[in-house]
């Protein structure tokens, strides 16, 4: 498969590896690769060339592919190589130690005459690695690693299903000790091949769509932003230039001011319901794509802001620094105030359109206007981008096209984050530290290279979108009655279900299946909300548990294995996996207030990464102790 990235042609491949993850490797804190697949669209499952057995073999293959020999009368061969990997940070932790051992050096910008160099775009600890480049010789091309998970997240199996690709049943035993004279089985090879082949099939699907932006982007945010701007200026050959005419880079002073007012979605349980075991019916309603809806319907700032002191001017949209005091809280509409039941002389920065909602939820609210920035306002030039994507998603859902349902949802939901991106003032030069573990040396950029904003940054719009969403969430909740709201989750409301709230749902809430509309997710019969992103509900006898960072698969595995042991049953691995998938955790079996669970964690070690199970403890955070004692401590 050959495709352009930028202006250059690349040969496209996929790679995946299996590594030592047994108890001996964990004890030694050392691992390595024992099997890998390096494929293009023509690779076959029975071809020995599809398989590699060490990182050295991978690098030899990449060196060969990126340094082709041109024979007489042949066209100039393509020497640039692109390798897609799912969750690249894992594989990079295995590749980098061998690169450094072979004498490769970090170089931020690789030039045509460089040799034995590499660079990457990553976090300091390499917990996320978006991409990396290596170059072997002066005459070699660039080897470009890309992380497919940064565009299509959620797990390779989920993405494969969305693409209508076959997924594997069962797994190979990752904990088996293969360190000593292990003979790799055909089953293990086929498992690795099939996982890697999914990546190739996804790339082929994107080639078929003739989607150039996909191959140029390193994340869904970048990918969506490029498409969004082209929608805003469809006739322009330089849409980014047009974007910057209307949404210019702002001064450092204005930027710093606006950043203090940036917030996300509201996710919290009002204190009157937090921790309580709610044994009555609740409505769970969801907004259809909350952030894209605001971007489609509302007016937004543009241009440079005009500084003002005191109250904001009329007929403008204003970011205001205010000093507030209040005596009590009905619902929180400002994230930074969550947990403060009263306050005095508290400074914060909000948009002026948030203030009317604040007056409804903060009791005896007093506001002193200090200063701010005022902007002219207009609809977003690319607003129809959100409607077009939503229309396509509706068509896909009607046609049973799971890929496009996922694809257009990701495009809409990823489209605004780049507007808030901070400039990159440091370079993370990935290294192997003294313990043999992947890490980074932090290099500060020269002052003359540091910019105020990243490429697409325009904070006024990026900040307004979630602010509008918060207002929409709270204003919708207030229709039901603030005292009946049990929990918020960004674009969801959990509200007590009675005749009055049912009437409001039926008569006052927009239920159109479109941007700006709401849908009834479920009617819940029992629930408990203990912290942001931590709750459990029961509906139609089925328990749903959300506990940020905790995956209950290990718990379900143990329960199924206990059941099989108790019943003295022997089942195939496929049957066991099916039982685990279908196992329903009883509502009262999981304590989401205070308990311990085994969760998967990536453990960096010499040679790469080991996946281990560690205990994660859930408990009552210090800031919630008073609420817990009030709502639960007295047995209520």
Query: Which residue's structure tokens are 């043999």?
Result: 436
pLDDT single digits (tens) 517-559: 999 999 999 999 999 999 999 999 889 888 876 777 777 888 8
Rounded Cα distance, 486 and 448, in Å: 51
Question: Same domain, yes or no, for 228 and 203?
Answer: no
Question: Same domain, yes or no, for 255 and 365?
Answer: yes
| Cα 198 to the center of its chain, rounded Å | 21
Question: Same domain, yes or no, for 223 and 102?
Answer: no
Count of the separate structural domains present in the chain = 2
Q: Which of the four pLDDT bands, split at 50, 70 and 90, describes residue 246?
A: very high
Query: Which residue's structure tokens are 């450094």?
Result: 100
| Cα 411 to the center of its chain, rounded Å | 13
Residue 584: burial class (beta carbons within 10 Å; 0-12, 13-18, 19+): exposed
Q: Cα 475–476–482 angle (5° rounding)?
A: 75
pLDDT at 278 over 80: yes
Which residues of 107-260 form beta strands (DSSP E)?
A: 117-122, 129-135, 143-147
The full 3-state SS of 535-586, as one line of letters, equals EEEEECCEEEEEECCCCCHHHHHHHHHHHHHHCCCCCCHHHHHHHHHHCCCC
pLDDT single digits (tens) 456-469: 999 999 999 999 99
> What pLDDT, on a 0 to 100 scale, did the predictor assign at position 130?
95
Q: Which of the four pLDDT bands, split at 50, 70 and 90, describes residue 595?
A: confident
The answer to whether position 416 is within a domain reads: yes
Question: Same domain, yes or no, for 288 and 413?
Answer: yes
Residue 96 sits in a domain whose CATH number is 3.30.420.10
Quote the domain boundaries for residue 32.
2-217
Residue 605: how many CB atoms within 10 A of its CB?
Answer: 20
Question: Same domain, yes or no, for 233 and 117?
Answer: no
Rounded Cα distance, 268 and 340, in Å: 13
> What pLDDT, on a 0 to 100 scale, did the predictor assign at position 635?
52
Residue 290: how many CB atoms within 10 A of its CB?
Answer: 24
> What pLDDT, on a 0 to 100 scale, did the predictor assign at position 428?
95
Mean residue pLDDT across the chain: 92
Backbone angles phi, psi at 229, to 5 degrees: -65, -35
pLDDT single digits (tens) 367-378: 999 999 999 999
Query: Which residue's structure tokens are 């603030």?
Result: 482
Query: Which residue's structure tokens are 């290294």?
Result: 431
Which residues of 408-533 form beta strands (DSSP E)?
A: 426-432, 438-444, 485-489, 492-496, 518-524, 526-531
Backbone angles phi, psi at 26, to 5 degrees: -65, -40
Burial 452-466 (b: 16+ CB within 10 A, else e): ebeebbbbbbbbbbb
Question: Same domain, yes or no, for 223 and 211?
Answer: no
Question: Same domain, yes or no, for 89 and 233?
Answer: no
Which residues of 300-406 form beta strands (DSSP E)?
A: 300-309, 317-326, 328-329, 343-351, 362-363, 366-378
The percentage of residues in the chain with a pLDDT greater than 90, rounded to a whole number, is 72
> What pLDDT, on a 0 to 100 scale, did the predictor assign at position 41?
95
The answer to whether position 626 is within a domain reads: no
Rounded Cα distance, 527 and 543, in Å: 9
> Of the candidates 217, 234, 251, which is a domain's last residue?
217
Rounded Cα distance, 199 and 85, in Å: 7
* Beta pairing partners, 598: 615
Query: Which residue's structure tokens are 């089953």?
Result: 187
Rounded Cα distance, 331 and 528, in Å: 18
The answer to whether position 196 is within a domain reads: yes
Q: Is the distance from CB of 86 to CB of 80 less than 8 angstroms? A: no
Rounded (10°) angle between helices 290-297 and 459-480: 110
The percentage of residues in the chain with a pLDDT greater than 70, rounded to a whole number, is 98
Rounded Cα distance, 456 and 219, in Å: 14
pLDDT at 499 over 90: yes
Q: Which of the four pLDDT bands, split at 50, 70 and 90, describes residue 72?
A: low
The answer to whether position 552 is within a domain reads: no
| Cα 75 to the center of its chain, rounded Å | 42
Spatial CA neighbour of 599 closest among 553, 559, 558: 553
Question: Same domain, yes or no, for 256 and 315?
Answer: yes
pLDDT single digits (tens) 280-331: 999 999 999 999 999 999 999 999 999 999 999 999 999 999 999 999 999 9
Question: Same domain, yes or no, for 240 and 370?
Answer: yes
pLDDT single digits (tens) 174-196: 889 999 999 999 999 999 999 99
Question: Same domain, yes or no, for 153 and 226?
Answer: no
CA distances from 336 to 220, 361, 419, 487 (A): 28, 14, 21, 17
The answer to whether position 336 is within a domain reads: yes
Q: Is the distance from CB of 200 to CB of 444 less than 8 angstroms? A: no
pLDDT at 89 over 80: yes
The answer to whether position 428 is within a domain reads: no
Burial 202-218 (b: 16+ CB within 10 A, else e): bbebbbeeeeeebbebe
> What pLDDT, on a 0 to 100 scale, did the predictor assign at position 167?
60
CA gyration radius, the chain: 27
pLDDT at 634 over 60: no
The answer to whether position 25 is within a domain reads: yes
| Mean pLDDT value of segment 40-69 | 95
pLDDT single digits (tens) 251-277: 999 999 999 999 999 999 999 999 999
Q: Encoding tokens for residue 50?
A: 């599809």
Question: Same domain, yes or no, for 238 and 193?
Answer: no
> Of the candidates 153, 187, 217, which is a domain's last residue?
217
> What pLDDT, on a 0 to 100 scale, did the predictor assign at position 227?
93
CA distances from 414 to 224, 263, 428 (A): 6, 16, 25
pLDDT at 452 over 80: no
Q: Is the distance from CB of 373 to CB of 306 less than 8 angstroms? A: yes
Residue 515: how many CB atoms within 10 A of its CB?
Answer: 22
Q: Which residues lie closer than 8 Å to 86 by C-beta, 6 or more apart? A: 16, 147, 148, 149, 156, 199
Residue 327 sits in a domain whose CATH number is 3.90.1600.10
> Of the candidates 528, 545, 562, which is a domain's last residue?
545
| CA torsion through residues 259, 265, 271, 275, sign | negative
pLDDT at 565 over 90: no
Backbone angles phi, psi at 118, to 5 degrees: -150, 160
Query: Which residue's structure tokens are 């509309």?
Result: 517
Q: Report the chain's terminal Cα–Cα distance, integer Å.
A: 64
The answer to whether position 279 is within a domain reads: yes
Q: Encoding tokens for residue 8?
A: 């250059």
> What pLDDT, on a 0 to 100 scale, did the predictor assign at position 320?
98
pLDDT at 37 over 90: yes
Spatial CA neighbour of 460 closest among 615, 611, 250, 610: 250
Q: Encoding tokens for residue 135?
A: 């170059």
pLDDT at 90 over 80: yes
Rounded Cα distance, 329 and 327, in Å: 7
Question: Same domain, yes or no, for 404 and 489?
Answer: yes
pLDDT single digits (tens) 428-444: 999 999 999 999 999 98
Rounded Cα distance, 65 and 136, in Å: 11
Query: Which residue's structure tokens are 């991409």?
Result: 131
């Amino acid at each position: 498969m050959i495709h352009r990235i930028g202006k250059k042609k690349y040969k496209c491949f996929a790679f995946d590896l299996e590594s030592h993850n047994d108890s001996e490797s964990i004890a030694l804190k050392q691992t390595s690769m024992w099997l890998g697949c390096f494929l293009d669209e023509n690779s076959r499952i029975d071809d020995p060339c599809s398989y590699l057995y060490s990182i050295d073999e991978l690098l030899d293959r990449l060196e060969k592919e990126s340094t082709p020999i041109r024979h007489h009368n042949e066209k100039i061969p393509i020497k640039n190589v692109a390798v897609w990997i799912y969750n690249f940070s894992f594989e990079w932790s295995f590749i980098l130690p061998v690169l450094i051992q072979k004498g490769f050096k970090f170089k931020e910008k690789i030039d045509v005459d460089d040799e034995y160099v590499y660079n990457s775009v990553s976090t300091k600890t390499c917990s996320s690695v978006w991409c990396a480049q290596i170059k072997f010789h002066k005459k070699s091309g660039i080897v470009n690693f890309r992380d497919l998970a940064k565009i299509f997240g959620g797990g390779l199996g989920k993405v494969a299903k969305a693409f209508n690709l076959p997924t594997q049943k069962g797994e190979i035993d990752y904990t088996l000790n293969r360190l000593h004279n292990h003979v790799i089985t055909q089953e293990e090879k086929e498992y690795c091949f099939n996982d890697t082949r999914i990546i190739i099939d996804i790339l082929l699907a994107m080639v078929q769509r003739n989607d150039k932006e996909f191959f140029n982007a390193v994340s869904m945010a970048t990918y969506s932003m490029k498409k969004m701007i082209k929608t805003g200026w469809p006739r322009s050959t330089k849409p980014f230039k047009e974007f910057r005419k209307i949404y210019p880079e702002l001064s450092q002073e204005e930027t710093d001011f606006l950043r203090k007012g940036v917030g996300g979605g509201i996710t919290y349980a009002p204190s009157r319901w937090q921790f309580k075991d709610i044994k009555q019916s609740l409505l769970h309603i969801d907004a259809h794509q909350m952030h894209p809806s605001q971007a489609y319907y509302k007016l937004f700032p543009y241009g440079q802001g005009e500084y003002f002191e005191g109250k904001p001017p009329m007929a403008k949209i204003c970011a205001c620094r205010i000093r507030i005091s209040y005596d009590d809280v009905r619902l929180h509409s400002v994230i930074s105030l969550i947990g403060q039941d009263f306050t005095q002389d508290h400074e914060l920065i909000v948009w002026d359109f948030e203030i009317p909602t604040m007056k409804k939820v903060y009791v005896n609210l007093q506001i002193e206007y200090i200063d701010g920035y005022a902007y002219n306002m207009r609809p977003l030039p690319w607003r129809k981008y959100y409607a077009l994507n939503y229309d396509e998603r509706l068509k896909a859902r009607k046609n049973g096209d799971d890929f496009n349902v996922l694809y257009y949802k990701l495009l809409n939901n990823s489209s605004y984050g780049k507007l808030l991106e901070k400039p990159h003032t440091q370079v993370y030069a990935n290294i192997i530290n003294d313990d043999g573990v992947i890490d980074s040396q932090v290099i500060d950029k020269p002052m003359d290279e540091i910019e105020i904003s990243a490429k697409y940054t325009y904070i006024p719009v990026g900040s307004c979108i979630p602010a509008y969403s918060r207002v929409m969430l709270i204003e919708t909740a207030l229709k039901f009655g603030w005292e009946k709201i049990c929990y918020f989750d960004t674009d969801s409301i959990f509200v007590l279900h009675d005749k009055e709230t049912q009437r409001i749902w039926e008569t006052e809430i927009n239920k159109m299946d479109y941007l700006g509309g709401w849908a009834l997710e479920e009617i819940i019969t029992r629930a408990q909300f203990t912290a942001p992103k931590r709750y459990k509900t029961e509906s139609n006898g089925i328990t749903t548990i959300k506990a940020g960072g905790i995956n209950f698969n290990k718990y379900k595995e143990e329960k199924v294995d206990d059941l099989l042991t108790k019943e003295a049953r022997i089942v195939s691995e496929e049957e066991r996996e099916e039982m685990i998938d279908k196992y329903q955790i009883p509502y009262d079996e999981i304590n989401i207030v205070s308990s311990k669970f085994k969760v998967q964690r990536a453990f960096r070690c010499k040679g790469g990464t080991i996946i281990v199970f560690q205990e994660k403890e859930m408990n009552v955070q210090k800031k919630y102790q008073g609420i817990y004692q009030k709502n639960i401590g007295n047995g209520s």
